[in-house]
């Protein structure tokens, strides 16, 4: 077993309890200091680590990732927003998140979409009557987000507008991203709609231009059909 253990954003003391337990059990421990210096160890799954994962699997060695805080999430302290896909209602069906996805796709960039959660919210009826009765919590699934995106795409077709993506665009569905129970699936938007990712929380990544190494990694999480909608634009770039 090859473990990838995040050290967090500070010095070695920022390692998690889980990570430290595994380090103490390992016969060999290597410190990777290529992607950043020790006091700012910021990327758990950079290109360097993807290459190591693929080499390990090719050698018949399993791997396991122990996550930690990284610049990928801590950068939220600057206050800038991410792309969020919200629950639609009968009277409110915004499409603004699609516009952001389109801009990224036009530039060949991937888009991480955080999916909506509804916790401790009141119905309009209870709110107007001043009753402290709350609705059951709801967590948007990948399938629900995909259904809304596909409806937006149909609206775009009906208006004769150029599409930023289709049902065949390669996406990644992620759920419960933590060490032991996380689920990752890659495939087309349509394919992943029927894929059970398990419990919350879910996230969605819509691919842009993919490097061949990224494709090799996504194949680890794809179904039997693989990533058949991908097309090469040059020797190292794939699009869908």
Sequence ranges of the binding site for S-adenosyl-L-methionine? 9, 70-71, 115, 202
**How many other C-beta atoms lie within 10 A of the C-beta of residue 237?**
16
Q: Which residue has the tokens 């800038």?
A: 80
Number of residues written out for the chain: 240
What DSSP letter does each residue of 168-233 carry, written as one string? TSEEEEEES-STTT-EEEEEEHHHHHT----SSPEEEEE--SEEHHHHHHHHTTB-TTTTTT-EEE
Q: Which residues contact 175 (CB under 8 A, 6 or more apart)?
A: 142, 182, 183, 184, 197, 198, 199, 200, 201, 202, 203
Rounded distance between C-alpha atoms, residue 64 and residue 146, angstroms: 29
Rounded distance between C-alpha atoms, residue 74 and residue 55, angstroms: 29
Give the largest Cα separation in the chain, rounded.
Answer: 65
The pair of structure tokens assigned to 49 is 């680590």
**Cα angle 184-182-23, degrees, rounded to a multiple of 5:** 120
Give the residue ranges of the annotated binding site: 9, 70-71, 115, 202
**How many other C-beta atoms lie within 10 A of the C-beta of residue 204?**
25
């Amino acid at each position: 077993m090859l473990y990838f253990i995040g050290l967090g954003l500070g010095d070695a003391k920022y390692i998690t309890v889980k990570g430290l337990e595994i380090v103490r059990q390992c016969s060999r421990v290597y410190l990777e200091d290529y992607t950043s210096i020790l006091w700012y160890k910021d990327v758990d799954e950079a290109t360097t680590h993807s290459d190591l994962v693929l080499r390990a699997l090719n050698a018949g060695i399993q791997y396991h990732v122990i996550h930690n805080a990284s610049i990928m999430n801590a950068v939220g302290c600057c206050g800038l927003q991410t792309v969020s896909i919200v629950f639609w209602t009968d009277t409110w069906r915004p499409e603004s998140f699609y516009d952001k996805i389109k801009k990224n796709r036009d530039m060949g960039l991937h888009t991480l979409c955080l999916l909506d959660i509804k916790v401790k919210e009141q119905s309009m009826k209870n709110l107007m009557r001043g009753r402290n009765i709350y609705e059951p919590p709801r967590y948007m699934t990948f399938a629900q987000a995909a259904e809304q995106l596909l409806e937006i795409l149909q609206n775009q077709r009906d208006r004769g507008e150029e599409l930023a993506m289709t049902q065949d665009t390669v996406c990644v569905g992620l759920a419960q991203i933590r060490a032991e129970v996380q689920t990752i699936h890659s495939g087309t938007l349509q394919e992943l709609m029927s894929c059970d990712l398990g419990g919350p929380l879910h996230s969605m990544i819509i691919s842009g231009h993919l490097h061949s190494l990224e494709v090799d990694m996504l194949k680890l999480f794809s179904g039997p059909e693989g990533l058949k909608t991908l097309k090469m634009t040059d020797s190292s770039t794939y699009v869908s």
